[in-house]
Structure 1
């Protein structure tokens, strides 16, 4: 990243430290990353905004610069963490991806500080039940150190598995996942946050998705201007949610990108293994133009 990243931290309501990176100049924008990501998963996106906005990249709890998740971790906790960053930054704008997008949307419903929000495939599902059923198995696998198995469980739980993987033996998927994580660890730069390190945070993501599922009508009170983004190859389980949100949000503009998947807004690598910088730049350009409208 060509723009310099500075570190900072705030204290959330329950005393947990929330760390962030900051870059750029101008009005503040807070970027809330998605599942299996950390603050540095959106450095390219931040770079595209940095000439006109000061971009804050917080680590959500359990990652990098921030404190640990707690047993009662849920949407309210995440909104309080975001609120602490918004307040310190004096920010009226936020961009959220996946579960981070769901948090930003809930924050816009419950906080008065947000005036503009952009969301890439916010994880608001129609039905929360399927997103709770797999959590017990996931927790058992994490507890016994079977990270690869837990990753496979979450992949199916979040309906992220392509059709061809559904017919593969689970043991084969588990071994392939273990090899993938081992390869990532061998190639990771010093200080990188790996999939193995991020895996335990998935429980909270499942809880957030289940907690907010089916709550579309509640967002009819959101006063903020909303840019609702998604891709035609995004997650099936939350795709219909954008249709519902478009109907209920009072001030919304929607863009659907042909051929983009759920990780398209993230830096290439990690959850966006086939990503291209030009794709991130296109999404960032649309978000930047939206934030400049005020």
Structure 2
């Protein structure tokens, strides 16, 4: 099989007329990838390349980012699911993989009988017993309005991870963040903070609604890293596994919330094994 090794960019028009961009690479059955918040499509280039010999990978640029249109005044879970459906239709994707908030949207899309044959999520941003907190949002918005985006980003990462980064003193995070995240990526994340606030409002508002996902009819693979007891998204996968009859659960004890970016080959092998029935040799 000849593999398309260069990324191409396409677009689809969502139900409300918003243009949604996506990045494609590879050959084989279509795999649609849904990034989280504040992620962008290019963050999954390494993952897409890792599975490009088995899938034609299409990574959606969710609304409010890059070449895609704005979130809009009527932004909702429905608009996000309509975007996913538009790209699924345009690419004829058979499988879907969602990360974090993108995992939440993936499950919401699957709940609407999206037509995906198999569904994979890594630490989905589903709020269970308050696991997606939103109390940080007012302070974050105030700091953004004051032009203090670096401080607003700290409020975000402390607020959404109260049991991990939330316990670190702010002065220490001011040192760590520039070392851990390169400046171009930091600036992209800072620019997306208004978008991020609106996205977290959606998942937080549905706290406790997760039993509804038991109605998903497609086979589901749930994945999580080492923080299955210390973070909301980490705990979500095992809880959802208990709820979704017939679902599969795979844990990666050496990875954190950003496992798909840090170990694209390993996560990719697991996704391929589930979707295609291939041997997972990683």
- Which TM-score applies when normalising by structure 2? 0.88
> What are structure 2's unaligned runs of at least 5 residues?
none
| CA deviation profile, 1:143-165 (whole Å, cap 9, x unmatched) | 221111211111122116636x6
- Counterpart in the other structure of 1:271: none
Q: Secondary structure at the match of 1:200?
A: helix
Q: Name the CA distance, whole Å, in 2 between partners of 1:139 and 1:174.
A: 19
Contact 1:181/1:196 (<8 A) preserved: no
Deviation at 1:72, TM superposition (A): 3.6
| Structural RMSD (CA) | 2.5
Pick aligned residue for 2:86 from 84, 87, 95: 84
- Counterpart in the other structure of 1:292: 276
| Alpha carbons of structure 1 residues 108 and 167: separation in structure 2 relative to 1, 3 Å | closer
Pairs within 5 Å for 1:87-166: 87-128=89-130, 131-159=133-161, 162=164, 166=167
Pairs within 5 Å for 1:59-70: 59-70=61-72
Q: Secondary structure at the match of 2:48?
A: helix
Q: Name the CA distance, whole Å, in 1 between partners of 2:194 and 2:179.
A: 17
Greater shift after overlay, 205-214 or 92-101? 205-214
Contact 1:128/1:212 (<8 A) preserved: no
Greater shift after overlay, 233-242 or 115-124? 233-242
Q: Name the CA distance, whole Å, in 2 between partners of 1:140 and 1:62.
A: 20
Contact 2:153/2:190 (<8 A) preserved: no
Q: Name the CA distance, whole Å, in 2 between partners of 1:54 and 1:13.
A: 24
| CA deviation profile, 1:87-137 (whole Å, cap 9, x unmatched) | 111122100000001100110011341220110000112134862322222
Q: Name the CA distance, whole Å, in 2 between partners of 1:220 and 1:286.
A: 23
| Alpha carbons of structure 1 residues 183 and 108: separation in structure 2 relative to 1, 3 Å | closer
1:251 matches 2:246 = yes
Q: Name the CA distance, whole Å, in 2 between partners of 1:130 and 1:124.
A: 7
| Alpha carbons of structure 1 residues 38 and 153: separation in structure 2 relative to 1, 3 Å | same
- Which TM-score applies when normalising by structure 1? 0.84
| Alpha carbons of structure 1 residues 144 and 44: separation in structure 2 relative to 1, 3 Å | same
Pick aligned residue for 2:188 from 188, 194, 207: 194
Q: Name the CA distance, whole Å, in 2 between partners of 1:129 and 1:48.
A: 31
